[in-house]
Amino acid sequence: MANPTHSHDLVRKRTCDAYMWTKILNTPFWAIYNLLPYIFYKDLHATPLQITVIFIMKPAVSIIAMYWSAWVEKRKDRLLPNLIWARLLSHLPFFLFPFVDNPWFFIVCSGFYMMLTVGSVPAWMEVLKLNVAGGTRERVYAYGSAFGYAGAAVIPWALGTIMDNYVESWRWMFPITATISLIAIFFKSRILIIHDEEVPQKQPMSSISIKEQLIRPWKNAWGLMKRRPDFARYQWAFTLGGAGLSVMQPALPVFFMDQLSLTYAELAIAIALCKGIGFAIASPSWAQLINKVNIYRFNGLAGILMCLFPLFLIAAQIELVWLYVGYLLYGVMQAGNEMSWNLSGPIFSKNEDSSIYTSVNVLTVGLRGCFVPAIGTLLLYVMQAGGVMLMGAILCLLSTGFMMFYSRSPLPDKAT
């Protein structure tokens, strides 16, 4: 914690350093983590139910993550502990991967990691809002994410080659990369937070009923949506686009393994290398654009690429190069989409605490994840994987249309 006498340059530098190193050090772990659904399908011979659960759990645990992020609402003294404990607890279960065979254990670990990772986003965004000025904030986010994805573009290529040649080598990759990721705690612990006001005296948790603790985040989220219709419109349109991407997720392992017959190395080239290159190249441009255009239009531009992604995947049945083109454009789209999702809280909140806005982002991701991947799995029983991906493209197109329509609305003032 810091007081107002601390140098603003020191505060900004330590915050930027911590954010950058967190992204960089997590890159190897994130690379192997993203291959987990395909490891499930190929090496663990997971059932369709288990595949569906892992896709549902990753976003659905965001509902639980809302309670983790609610811990920091209007409590600047809790921001750093929230970040540090989330990093530590989320990685510890992966040290057991070499010794456990039950697929459900891997599913639970995956969900627990996502819950704490997503749950710490509101704290991160509030720290950036407090310590880094607007304009610089977007650049820090963009370059931190770009460095992370650039590393993630190269590392999985090597990991995929090792996994193709050494059976179950992935078991040891998880604890090794988790150890590297945990080093980021050192840099987070050095962050200073300047605030002039005293820490608010909140009602002790012991005096609040369990029912009230459970429903309070929901009431706060609903109250915000009613109070800020501009933010509510953003949520509905963004969720529709996310549903388009989510509904096709259960179809991807089937499409890649059965119809395209991809190896781990080929998967890594597409999912990590091409997507990472697209993300890294596009991030600085998105960072400049988000300060120039309405956030709805910003999302609409990213949505155009979102609509094209499944079409390129389907074209890969004719020529595999379209798979790589599709993931290159996906990376460009994801750079803009993630920037919008993460920074929409500071943008819409103006001079308010941004954590509640970002918590609503987390909540809507969770609600979407509870049922959309399951719908994708059900669709696989009545149509081929390509048909499911076309359904996703239609939802993405609707989201893009709504964003462009809403772009006629006034641009919310940026937080300062």
Distance of alpha carbon 159 from alpha carbon 139, whole angstroms? 30
Q: For residues 47 and 398, which has the higher predicted lDDT (pLDDT)? A: 398
Percent of the chain with pLDDT over 90: 16
Q: For residues 77 and 104, which has the higher predicted lDDT (pLDDT)? A: 104
pLDDT band for position 203 (cuts 50, 70, 90): very low
What average pLDDT does this structure show over 18-35? 85
Q: For residues 96 and 40, which has the higher predicted lDDT (pLDDT)? A: 96
Q: For residues 194 and 99, which has the higher predicted lDDT (pLDDT)? A: 99
pLDDT band for position 329 (cuts 50, 70, 90): very high
pLDDT band for position 361 (cuts 50, 70, 90): confident
Helix, strand, or coil (residue 66): helix
What average pLDDT does this structure show over 49-70? 74
What average pLDDT does this structure show over 41-50? 74
Residue 4 has pLDDT above 60, yes or no: no
Percent of the chain with pLDDT over 70: 86
- Domain range annotation of the chain: 8-194+224-406
Distance of alpha carbon 156 from alpha carbon 391, whole angstroms? 29
Residues 9, 11, 17, 20: is their CA dihedral positive or negative? Answer: negative
Q: For residues 46 and 236, which has the higher predicted lDDT (pLDDT)? A: 236
- Of 23-37, 100-114, 147-161, 194-208, the range with the lowest mean pLDDT is 194-208
71-85, 187-201, 209-223, 227-241, range with greatest mean pLDDT: 227-241
pLDDT band for position 399 (cuts 50, 70, 90): very high
Distance of alpha carbon 71 from alpha carbon 119, whole angstroms? 10
**pLDDT for the residue 199:** 47
Cα torsion 10, 12, 16, 22 to 10°: value is: 70
In this structure, are residues 62 and 221 in contact, taking their beta carbons and an 8 Å threshold?
Answer: no
**pLDDT for the residue 343:** 83
Distance of alpha carbon 181 from alpha carbon 95, whole angstroms? 12
pLDDT in tens, 111-146: 899 888 888 888 888 888 888 776 677 777 777 777
- Chain mean pLDDT for the chain: 81
Distance of alpha carbon 235 from alpha carbon 248, whole angstroms? 20
**pLDDT for the residue 179:** 95
Distance of alpha carbon 339 from alpha carbon 356, whole angstroms? 17
pLDDT band for position 319 (cuts 50, 70, 90): confident
Residue 264 has pLDDT above 60, yes or no: yes
pLDDT in tens, 63-85: 777 777 766 666 777 888 888 99
52-66, 231-245, 344-358, range with greatest mean pLDDT: 231-245
| Token reading at 145 | 């994410």
**pLDDT for the residue 225:** 87
How far is C-alpha 354 from the geometric centre of its chain's CA atoms?
Answer: 17
**pLDDT for the residue 213:** 67
- Of 10-19, 50-59, 184-193, the range with the lowest mean pLDDT is 50-59
* Those residues with Cβ within 8 angstroms of residue 321's Cβ, 6 or more apart along the chain or in another chain: none
Class of 8-194+224-406 per CATH?
mainly alpha
**pLDDT for the residue 170:** 85
pTM: 0.70
**pLDDT for the residue 184:** 92
Cα torsion 84, 59, 232, 311 to 10°: value is: 130
What average pLDDT does this structure show over 304-318? 90
Question: Whats the size of the chain, residue-wise?
Answer: 416
Q: Which residue has the tokens 């956030």?
A: 295
| Token reading at 101 | 């065979």
Residue 108 has pLDDT above 90, yes or no: no
| Token reading at 96 | 């057991």
Residues 110, 235, 253, 373: is their CA dihedral positive or negative? Answer: positive
**pLDDT for the residue 94:** 93
3-state secondary structure 103-172: HHHHHHHHHHHHHHHHHCHHHHHHHHHHHCCCCHHHHHHHHHHHHHHHHHHHHHHHHHHHHHHCCCCHHH
